[in-house]
Amino acid sequence: MAALNALLGEMCDIVGDEMEQATQALLEADLELAEQVISDHDQLTERSARAEEMAFELLALQAPVAGDLRSVVGGFQLVAEVDRMGALALHVAKVARRRHPFQVLPEEVAGYFVEMGRLAVELAQSAHNVLESQSYQDALALMDDDDAMDDLHRHLFTVMMDREWQHGVAAAVDVTLLGRYYERFADHAVSIARRVVFQATGKTPEQLDEVS
Distance (Å, rounded) from C-alpha 139 to C-alpha 192?
Answer: 8
What's the start-to-end Cα distance of the chain, in Å?
A: 29
What is the value of pTM for the model shown? 0.94
Distance (Å, rounded) from C-alpha 84 to C-alpha 196?
Answer: 17
pLDDT at 2 (0 to 100):
86
pLDDT at 130 (0 to 100):
96
pLDDT at 210 (0 to 100):
77
pLDDT at 161 (0 to 100):
85
pLDDT at 212 (0 to 100):
61
pLDDT at 164 (0 to 100):
85
φ, ψ for residue 103, nearest 5 deg: -70, 135
Domains of the chain: 2-207 (1.20.58.220)
pLDDT at 55 (0 to 100):
87
Q: What is the pLDDT along the chain (212 residues), one digit of tens a residue?
A: 889 999 999 999 999 999 999 999 999 999 999 999 999 999 999 999 999 999 888 877 766 666 677 777 788 899 999 999 999 999 999 999 999 999 999 999 999 999 999 999 999 999 999 999 999 999 999 998 899 999 999 999 889 888 889 999 899 999 999 999 999 999 999 999 999 998 888 888 988 887 76
DSSP states of 145-181 as a string?
HTHHHHHHHHHHHHHHHSTT--SHHHHHHHHHHHHHH
